[in-house]
Structure 1
Amino acid sequence: MSLYLQKPFPNTCAEFFAGIGLMRLGLEQAGWEITYANDIDPIKDKIYQNHFQDPQNHFQLGDIHQLDVKEIPYVTLATASFPCTDLSLAGRREGLVGKNSSAYWGFIKVLKEMGNRRPRLILLENVEGFLTSNKGEDFKEALLALNSLGYSVDAFVIDAAKFVPQSRVRLFVVGKLTPVTHNLVKSPQLSFYQSELRTHRLADFILNHPEINWDIRQLRNLPKRKFNLADIVDPTPDNSAEWWNEERVMYLLNQTFDRHRVIIDLATKRDEYSYFTAFRRVRDGRSMAEIRSDGIAGCLRTPKGGSARQILLKVGKGQVRVRLISPRECAKLMGADDYKISSTLNEALFGFGDAVCVPVVKWIAENYLNPLLNELNNNNSHDSHYSSHEYSTLH
């Protein structure tokens, strides 16, 4: 009997491109059990093992293109946060043929070779630039590849700033293994697909690609964030060597744009402290410091370049104090407050900068994956959710 027909489906998951395990943290908080993890990076393997300390050691270090699928257990869900290097707007935009992001095809190869042990559900995560890479052709080919393996697909965009004080916009794809094709409505309007979680650009992509086997589901609105940057800042004594000296502070301030300098000067005069973040960027051949003053940090990055590490400013009471954001603060910005940091500074920053936001994953699991799993196990999916055509009758 095919595993495709067996039930109940367990809440088990295999995470590919596992990194330091933040996808796992979010899923576990929503009731999922990770029974297999894979990543190619030995540093991430070390960080992952130091935190989870699994007696069964589910982590398999290795290139996804070289995995033996017989060693991968049957799971209901497989996740893939494959490298964004070639898809990001900040990268070289080589797309899915690039050296790093082409690892996606290794994931497709694994699914294909699993045959009738293929997971019923798939969750992809990547930068929003995946949607526009190679003029949308990369995203289309990635989804058609899932279609060819029997998965209908849905896509949505979430900014982690809805959960934590970090601007981190990510594109998610859910695939569901199903023999049923859910066709799009024949003459939809753009607004039919557009919502808080489906941007104008994503809705436009869905509208213009009816050849993709979509299964678009209605999603709940995202929550409102309950805390700001000031709430995650670690207390640092005024005499700590972490604070920059006056000369270094002035050098940074002289790099800021005039409009940002005005904001800092005004905050300096207040009787309470305000917390800002900054990144250095090259503008017109000159290194400039871009200040963010809305209570949200910029998107964490991997420390591969001199501008990658985020700067924290503590401004008020006549002072401007400046230091680099700490690994513990990075963990908090990713919703992983209690993560065990036992690696070097650069290793920790690399791990968190290349990870997923924990409460975002938890929200997706609780509001999408768990209901979908219940539908599968109740064998009542037609009544419990609706295709695009049924959606149109409700709006």
Structure 2
Amino acid sequence: MEIYSSIKHLLTESLLETFPQTEGDEIEAVVTHWLQSPSTDIPFLTQSMRDHCWASVGVTKRHVKARSVREPLAAYQTLLPIDWSGVPFPPNQENTFKFIDLFAGIGGFRIAMQDLGGECVFSSEWDPYAKKTYELNFGEVPFGDIRKISENAIPDHDILCAGFPCQPFSLAGVSARNSLNTAHGFACETQGTLFFDIVRIIREKRPRIVFLENVKNLVSHDGGKTFSVIRNTIEALGYSFSYKVIDSSPLVPQRRLRCYMVCVRNTEQPFEFPEIQGPPLPLKSILEKKVDESFTISSKLWEGHQRRTKRNLERGTGFTAFCADLEKPSNTIVARYGKDGKECLIPQEKNNPRMLTPRECARLQGFPESFIIANAKTISYRQFGNSVAIPVIRRISESIVNLLVNNPENL
């Protein structure tokens, strides 16, 4: 058996040589999606390219055709001579539902869904560093800009998952854009309107359930008008629309309030969110015992934090920076955390406070210890700050999967 990286390289080079007209920027996504789901429709993958892939791994077209007539998808997986042992979260051999992972980031949704028996048949993410982290952990390169992919090319699926870009709606994002006199919300052309790319996929593919996540400020953005557009648009497509703002701190030691939306096809019955309650978890529970001195902030930075905190408290506005209370959950970890760490500074005896390590940030979001952290510190901080709290996603996903299983024909 060939290890994943070797067979991926073989197919990528072979396809580019044999089909020079193919979409070069997306060839690795095409190849890795095929390796995961060889019988599924894949953007930019023609039948000739598919036949070439089968031949390249030593499987004849006649053999594939014979198996396709009488055997389910799992049989195709066994045909591919791939060793997934270097991939922490490889595809399941048996699946009970299919999902797609839009604005996938580093795969928080995927870990939860795959763990519950889901097969990811399509992923998309435009940040190149996040795509690299995603590949290292799942053995799949997400497709790039979703705006460039036709909704007709998206594979059929049961659940659409999307943590669509939150910066145009977040309190920090809105404040920053206002100060720069730039657009926010749906008026932000590069990110705000990506919601409507979700809509065109829903309209074409009609997934049974749509599962969305965003910042809590989405509900009140622009006086509630933005949220009304989202709700009305989805309901007009024939889906119920339910939402709940949930605090993650009973499940991970981070106070992260996010708006979760679950939309169910062909029903007016609201989705019942699971109750997530309990005492908040303490930050100390995820701290590493030995941390390199490089995570300790400089005296200049710490003095600047203290000076600006004092000034902002006196004038009643602006950020503040204090050492975290280790007996309580952390503040929300955000994408900018790597800039100066002000959201969560860990006190140290006889020393300046330190920043969290990337592994500690991963733990605050509920990522397993086996998750590979691929990049430099600043990039890793951004990736975890943009990610989802996996235990919350999993709890909601459990209810979603139960709904699918108990209503196989009605949704």
Counterpart in 1 of 2:154? Answer: 72
Whether 2:228 is the aligned partner of 1:140: answer yes
2:178 matched to which residue of 1? none
Using the TM superposition, give the Cα deviation of residue 337 of structure 1 relative to its aligned residue in structure 2, in angstroms: 3.4
Question: Residues 285 and 147 (structure 1 numbering): CA distance in 2 closer, same or farther, change over 3 Å?
Answer: closer
Partner of 2:37: none
Question: Which residue number in structure 1 is paired with residue 285 of structure 2?
Answer: 231
Other structure's SS at 2:241 match: strand
State how 1:119-130 maps to structure 2 within 5 Å: 119-130=207-218
2: CA distance between counterparts of 1:351 and 1:246? 27
1:236 Cα deviation after fit: 2.6
Provide the secondary structure at the position in 2 that maps to 1:141. helix
Structure 1 residues 128 and 287, CA gap change in structure 2 (3 angstroms): closer
Which structure features the higher share of helix residues?
2
What displacement does 1:241 show? 4.2
Structure 2 unaligned regions, length at least 5 = 1-94, 176-183
Separation (CA, whole Å) in 1 of partners of 2:157 and 2:199 = 16
The alignment yields a C-alpha RMSD, in angstroms, of 3.0
Aligned partner of 1:26 in structure 2 is 112
Q: Report the Cα distance in structure 2 between the residues aligned to 1:111 and 1:240, rounded to whole angstroms.
A: 49
The 10-residue stretch of structure 1 (164-173 or 343-352) with the greater mean CA deviation from structure 2: 343-352
Aligned to 1:61: 144
Q: Which has the higher contact order (CA 8 A, sep 6+)?
A: 1
CA 1:146–1:297 in structure 2 vs 1: closer, same or farther (change >3 Å)? same
Indicate if the aligned counterparts of 1:26 and 1:360 stay in contact, CA closer than 8 A: no
Alpha-carbon deviation of 1:231?
Answer: 1.5
Describe the SS at the equivalent of 2:347.
strand
Letter in 1 for 2:192: S
| Correspondence 1:352-367 to 2 at 5 A | 352-366=384-398
Unmatched 5+ stretches in structure 1? 1-8, 183-214, 259-279, 382-395
Q: Could you tell me how far 1:11 is from its partner in structure 2?
A: 1.4
Task: Report the alpha carbon displacement of residue 66 of structure 1 after superposing the two structures with TM.
Answer: 2.0
Query: SS in structure 1 opposite 2:112?
Result: helix
- Say whether residues 1:348 and 2:402 are aligned partners: no
Change (3 A) 1:217 1:287: closer
CA pair 282-369 structure 1, distance change in 2 beyond 3 A: farther
Query: Percent sequence identity over matched residues?
Result: 24
Matched length: 306
Residue 327 (structure 1) aligned with residue 380 (structure 2): no
Distance 1:221 1:77 in 2: 21
Which residue identity lines up with residue 336 of structure 1 in the other structure?
Answer: F
TM-fit CA distance, 1:126: 0.3
1:313: which partner in 2?
346
Larger strand proportion of the pair: 1
CA 1:374–1:283 in 2, change beyond 3 Å: closer, same or farther? farther
What aligned pairs does 1:88-103 form with structure 2 within 5 A after superposition?
88-92=170-174, 94-99=184-189, 100-103=191-194
- Cα pair distance change 1:26/1:105, threshold 3 Å: same
2:98: which partner in 1?
12
Q: Does 1:47 align with 2:133?
A: yes
AA of the residue aligned to 1:240: E
Instruction: Check if 1:158 corresponds to 2:240.
Output: no
Q: Which residue in the other structure is 2:328 paired with?
A: 295
